[in-house]
Structure 1
Amino acid sequence: MKSEYSIYHDEAFHDRKVTSKGKTYMNIENKDSSSYFYLIHLGFKNNEIDKYTSQYLQLESSYKKKLGLCDEQELKGDILKKRWFRYGIKTMNKEQVDFYTNYMKLIDKDVIISISIINQFELVFKNVFRGINTMILGHKEGSKMYYAFSKFLYLNKSEELLNLLFDIENNKVAIKQEIKSIANSVIIRNKEIAHKFTETPIAEQLLQFIENEEDICNDEKYDMDYAWSFQGISLLLDELEISKKVCELYIDGEEGFEKIIEMLQSKYYIVDGLDSKKSIGNRMSDMFIRLISAIIHSLEDQLINVGKTNKKEKHDLSEEWFKLTEKQYDLYIVIADIFNQREYIKGTLHISISSDAAFIFFMLLNYFVSFKDFNEYQKVSASEHANYFIGNSLIAFSKLLDDI
């Protein structure tokens, strides 16, 4: 077969494995880490790729000059600082907004896009509690239960449970006892916290399931599930009826992906590792996923991670997210258009069920698109936007779990 497409890979928040750090937290909970692992593939027809790469080179060169970078220096997504995205696009400066607006406009409907996002704590949950996962697999509300149990343990885990999960010398009975202790403590605590009413029945149900859990398998580390993440591009190509045998797949570097490259080699026209300094396509993938992951990371911090330490207060999205200039609003619209062009292509997004901040991000895009234009958007105050959005997103996410 003849090669027809070139597909470029990159990733964000790549930890390779989940480990315990100092017996008090996991590596995916580091200040500059994320519990989510992101994988992106951008694909182009070989006879059209020069059109995209030449336009990106011009844009890249212009932005590098504004940043004071010389021609030899690589423009990579790691130049994007976490603080720039504290309130999403709201806290990006004019140059960043202009660059990304122009870049995202290059991604037209003919570009293949596959984004995989997995909550890495699921690697721990699935491996340790195999019995629970088997029990809920055939349940009519299995998806909801899987999400609820994994998130409950992530947010309420004690240092003792963390140590047990990563210490193979510990008795498995101790893990069950500690989870029972946590669940009972949550039930008592939540009697005094009105907004936590939905967590209590989860704790009660978990107590029932953990009683029958006989297949606990803890480990010193939990390896990244690359097969699941790379399944995203495979499912997308199948859906688009594009044979993998006509696709060249280029991984951003080979380190850490040697086994994946070997595994995929026979399925694609070619699979190879490339240095992003020499690959425009890989740099385009890098800049795309860095923006998406940075915004989702801020949502994760402000809506989810804060709940690990502050249980009493309700954590909603700050109204600062909605105090946008017209150009900032327009960037959200440009990003939303990319995904709305592909709304009937299921394989565009391959997101694990516990990656709730990612689902909220895509709901946020749809929220901005729901307004006719920026003038109509401005008629609603930022506080009203925040209240309306978070209320509706929770309802939408609950419905999503019902439909899975």
Structure 2
Amino acid sequence: MGNKEYKETTVFNVYFDEAYKDHSLKFKNENRNYHIDSIREYTIGTFVGWPEDEESTIEIDFTNWKNKWNDIYHRDKDREIKGEFFTQKAGLSNGFSTQKKFLDKRDMLYEFFQLVNKNIDFIQISFESKTFQAIREYIYPTLNLLADKQSQDNFLYGMCKFLDQHAPNDLWEHIIKQNVDQKVVYGEIYRALKSHKEQPMLNKFRRVKRTEKNFCIQAMKIIGTYNQQEFFQQKNNNKHEDFSLQFDYDNFFYGVCLHLKNNQIKKSTVRMLVDPEGTGREVDSAKKYFEVVNPKSIEHIESNSFVGLQISDIIAHTFGAISVYARKSIQPINSEGKKLISKSWFDIDQKGFDLYIEIFKLFEKNSFSSENDKGFYFTYISKYADDAFLCINMIKYYGRFNSFEEFSEETPEQHTEYFNSSIVDSLDRKVFNNK
């Protein structure tokens, strides 16, 4: 882990907190209140950890940083600094590009990530898609009709993308409703696929691409075959199980277990400290994977009492803001459907460039660079997570450059094109495992 070596008996404190954690799925004013404008698509969770005997050193450094900036912003000395402090009032809406003076907290964030890089070797950032969670119970049963895992993963990814982007509101209403007959939902998914396949024009900007039509044909065949099998099974058994949707945290904690293993840290040596958000689901998922969760000596976890939770929260909000706002800034640029991120993301000064590079050091330290992907579980991503790839590749893109002067040799317009090529290449390699 990093450049340090620890004894097998070393006890690790690992902290988990999350951002963009609105898990509700509901309708408002007859419009699907589901996309990131109102209800965030992703929950971003961050794990940070260190040996128990390093706790005091990290706490002192973080407290000094907090006190300094609370004083600069005329806040109470001991007031907690949360991730929302950086993202409120659309802060970070163009990443770390040049900002209005009253919103510019990049110096503060730069010093924070310097602190993180100095002190913390174990970090994991996890993205969980609510679209993925919402449909997986419907789609998973169909996967046994596909021959291999790669085909299953591709189909699951395609269905998530289709339903997120093209499903009508009444279909989503049935997907998220409690106790819905799955056969009804499968029929509606089939009809939505058929309607989309037959549609010559989605809107004035984008035509239905041939690849989308081909996917619809494949998915209709799979969904239709499965639904027929289910129909005969239900007719014979005269019963059918209803489906109930509930957001869970299992993927977060499964992912961090893989990262611990990758760093040769035994789960039995980990004290997992979680800040419950009211439902207790975080703790429930943690207990499935760890022996010691919120030790009995700690009756209630409060983030203002544990710097690990505060650090996790700031990291989660930073990555969350980049993923959310980057997606929102992507717009079609021609009638053929080509989309590019706004050039404002690359209209950057020295201060913003340095901040991207400081965050990129997290990737380098975890072997998550474009040259070496051994540390893939530094980020753990659900099957459908285009926004996560967008966020990760934004930081990796800046990490390609040796200096701000080198970066400035190209215009913001040119950088948008180059970045678009890099994100397409990354999705192709990560999702479809193409070399």
TM-score range, shorter chain: 0.7 to 0.9
The answer as to whether partners of 1:117 and 1:351 remain within 8 angstroms in 2 is: yes
Matches of 2:288 and 2:301 in 1, distance apart? 17
| Corresponding position of 1:224 | 247
Instruction: Answer yes or no: is 1:296 the counterpart of 2:294.
Output: no
Instruction: Answer yes or no: is 1:401 the counterpart of 2:407.
Output: no
| Corresponding position of 2:265 | 242
What is the TM-score with the length of structure 1 in the denominator? 0.88
Task: Name the SS for the 1:184 alignment partner.
Answer: helix
User: How high is the sequence identity, in percent, across the aligned residues?
Assistant: 19
The answer as to whether partners of 1:136 and 1:146 remain within 8 angstroms in 2 is: no
Task: Name the SS for the 1:44 alignment partner.
Answer: strand
| Corresponding position of 2:308 | 281
The answer as to whether partners of 2:182 and 2:243 remain within 8 angstroms in 1 is: no
Stretches of structure 2 that go unaligned for 5 or more consecutive residues are 1-7, 232-239, 368-373
| Corresponding position of 1:39 | 45
The answer as to whether partners of 1:87 and 1:320 remain within 8 angstroms in 2 is: yes
Aligned residues: 399
Task: Name the SS for the 2:341 alignment partner.
Answer: coil
| Corresponding position of 1:20 | 26
Which amino acid is the alignment partner of residue 11 of structure 1?
Answer: E
Counterpart selection for 1:53 from 55, 59, 78 = 59
Counterpart selection for 2:354 from 295, 319, 330 = 330
Deviates more, 1:280-289 or 1:374-383: 280-289
Query: How big is the shift at 1:22?
Result: 4.1
Deviations along 1:321-340, one digit per CA (max 9) or x if unpaired, are: 10001110111111111112
Instruction: Answer yes or no: is 1:105 the counterpart of 2:114.
Output: yes
| Corresponding position of 2:345 | 321
What is the 5 A alignment of 1:175-254? 175-190=185-200, 193-194=206-207, 196-214=209-227, 222-253=245-276
The answer as to whether partners of 2:294 and 2:301 remain within 8 angstroms in 1 is: no
The answer as to whether partners of 1:7 and 1:41 remain within 8 angstroms in 2 is: yes
Deviates more, 1:329-338 or 1:227-236: 227-236
Query: How big is the shift at 1:219?
Result: 6.2
What is the TM-score with the length of structure 2 in the denominator? 0.82
Matches of 1:210 and 1:324 in 2, distance apart? 47
Query: How big is the shift at 1:155?
Result: 0.5
The answer as to whether partners of 1:5 and 1:246 remain within 8 angstroms in 2 is: yes
Which amino acid is the alignment partner of residue 355 of structure 1?
Answer: A
**1:334 and 1:32, CA in 2 relative to 1: closer, same or farther beyond 3 A?**
farther
Query: How big is the shift at 1:118?
Result: 1.3
Q: CA RMSD in A?
A: 3.0
Stretches of structure 1 that go unaligned for 5 or more consecutive residues are none
Matches of 1:383 and 1:148 in 2, distance apart? 30
| Corresponding position of 1:361 | 391
What is the 5 A alignment of 1:157-172? 157-167=167-177, 172=182
The answer as to whether partners of 1:24 and 1:162 remain within 8 angstroms in 2 is: no
Which amino acid is the alignment partner of residue 21 of structure 2?
Answer: H
Deviations along 1:265-294, one digit per CA (max 9) or x if unpaired, are: 625694755201111121111111111111
Matches of 1:394 and 1:245 in 2, distance apart? 40
**1:177 and 1:266, CA in 2 relative to 1: closer, same or farther beyond 3 A?**
closer
**1:111 and 1:49, CA in 2 relative to 1: closer, same or farther beyond 3 A?**
farther
Task: Name the SS for the 2:116 alignment partner.
Answer: coil
Deviations along 1:42-96, one digit per CA (max 9) or x if unpaired, are: 1112232322221211111122223332124321112222622222111655641
The answer as to whether partners of 1:84 and 1:91 remain within 8 angstroms in 2 is: no
Task: Name the SS for the 1:124 alignment partner.
Answer: helix
Query: How big is the shift at 1:195?
Result: 7.2
Task: Name the SS for the 2:79 alignment partner.
Answer: coil
Deviates more, 1:220-229 or 1:205-214: 220-229
